[in-house]
Amino acid sequence: MNSINKTYRILLTSMVLLLIAAYTKPALANISHDIEIQIEKYSNTYPDIQFFWLKGQEGLEQLLRLPALLGEGARNLDYEHDDVVRNILNKAQYHRISMMIHKQWPSATLFQTGNDSKLISRHACVITLDPDLFEHDHYSAMRLMIGDDITNLNRIPAEYQINNADFANFTLHHEIFHCLDAYQNGPLYPKSRDELGSLYSGYRAENRADIYATQTFLSEQSGDDRFLENFTRMRTLCVPAWDLTHCTDKGIQHSLDAISGLAANLSHKKIIDNTDKISTQAIPEYETFTEFLACAYRTAINLGNKDITFTKIAAAIESFAIDDKSARRMENKIKHIQTLLFSDNSTQQDDM
Ligand SMILES: [Zn+2]
């Protein structure tokens, strides 16, 4: 009887393990498979760009072979630069890509190939986005968005969480758009010695990428309906985290308002056109951007991020005019989101 019980228990345990495997493995396989399919679509639409998806050890090995594939005279197209620094910038970019692979962080880098390149396409878009990151940890996407504070992560109510599969899908479109943007419109970062000017270029590039990814996500009509709303909320928290380039919540909101309900099956060309149009409305000119910086600076300090007063750009930002009403509105909105996400208060309603 005992041995029958034992056999039964082993069988039962095996069945449970098989069930768990059946539920977890396909989810990861789907993320990987979905990325492959999306990259194939982009490759067909842009035959002049070869897409490299680098991840893990295999990705690092591919990266080592990349300079030879790109050929002598290859040029990075993300940063405007003089010929004299071309090789240094390429090396810096290879180094940066290897760090992104190591850290499993999403990124995109665009190169123009050199004269003796072994590639047929004249451009190479290198994407890092590691599906393994999402394998064991339900919080992976949210960690990338709001940090590693496990107390905070545990507090986020289920309805305000973002899931790894939707995040990976959105992020792939976001990253690929960085390449498409540089390919179609020139370097994302014009040559500049001005730190605030570079910050503005980054802010502009990130907003454009999120405006594009929002429409693509809506157009595909897959995934969790609440994803974009929850993702936007987390983007708003970039202000206290002082990650200003990723403060794209207004850009996403413009994108949602502009195409809400009309998004199904938009063509890629239409989405690209929309991105330019919506960006013109949503992304402030540099002069107005300084008003945003002034509000963000005061808000971040009021919410406890005192470290930023020591940053190089703090003195410049302190000299900008500030609209008290806008600053108060920004602070209240962020406090509200922090309460909603991290307060453990399940009766709280989102009424902003
Ligand atoms: Zn980006």
Q: What is the pLDDT of residue 276?
A: 96
- How many angstroms separate the CA atoms of 288 and 286, rounded? 5
Contact 135/47 with Cβ under 8 angstroms?
no
| Residue 344 reports pLDDT greater than 80 | no
Q: What is the pLDDT of residue 24?
A: 44
Whole-number Å distance, alpha carbon 304 to ligand 1 midpoint, is 26
Task: Give the list of residues 6+ apart from residue 307 with CB closer than 8 angstroms, or none.
Answer: 242
- How many angstroms separate the CA atoms of 70 and 111, rounded? 8
Whole-number Å distance, alpha carbon 9 to ligand 1 midpoint, is 50
Contact 95/126 with Cβ under 8 angstroms?
no
| Residue 23 reports pLDDT greater than 70 | no
- Mapped onto helix, strand or coil, the DSSP state of residue 189 is strand
Whole-number Å distance, alpha carbon 281 to ligand 1 midpoint, is 20
Whole-number Å distance, alpha carbon 2 to ligand 1 midpoint, is 60
Q: What is the pLDDT of residue 345?
A: 55
- Mapped onto helix, strand or coil, the DSSP state of residue 81 is coil
DSSP state of 343: S
180: confidence class by pLDDT, cuts 50, 70, 90: very high
Whole-number Å distance, alpha carbon 208 to ligand 1 midpoint, is 9
- How many angstroms separate the CA atoms of 127 and 129, rounded? 6
- How many angstroms separate the CA atoms of 180 and 158, rounded? 34
Whole-number Å distance, alpha carbon 117 to ligand 1 midpoint, is 27
26: confidence class by pLDDT, cuts 50, 70, 90: very low
Task: Give the list of residues 6+ apart from residue 145 with CB closer than 8 angstroms, or none.
Answer: 162, 167, 231, 234, 235, 237
Q: Which residue, among 244, 270, 227, has the nearest Cα to 141 in the 3D structure?
A: 227
Q: Which pTM was predicted? A: 0.89
Whole-number Å distance, alpha carbon 209 to ligand 1 midpoint, is 6
Whole-number Å distance, alpha carbon 323 to ligand 1 midpoint, is 29
Contact 263/215 with Cβ under 8 angstroms?
yes
pLDDT digits (tens, 9 = 90+) for 237-286: 999 999 999 999 999 999 988 876 665 678 999 999 999 999 999 999 99
Whole-number Å distance, alpha carbon 178 to ligand 1 midpoint, is 7
Q: What is the average pLDDT across 142-159?
A: 94
Whole-number Å distance, alpha carbon 131 to ligand 1 midpoint, is 17
Q: What is the average pLDDT across 67-78?
A: 97
Contact 96/107 with Cβ under 8 angstroms?
yes
Helix spans in the chain (H): 2-45, 56-70, 86-103, 140-146, 150-155, 164-185, 195-220, 227-236, 238-241, 249-259, 268-282, 286-302, 314-318, 324-342
- What does pLDDT average to over the chain? 89
Per residue, the 3-state secondary structure of 111-169, as one string, reads EECCCCCCCCCCEEEEEECCHHHHCCCCCHHHHHHHCCCHHHHHHCCHHHCCCHHHHHH
Q: What is the pLDDT of residue 347?
A: 47
349: confidence class by pLDDT, cuts 50, 70, 90: very low
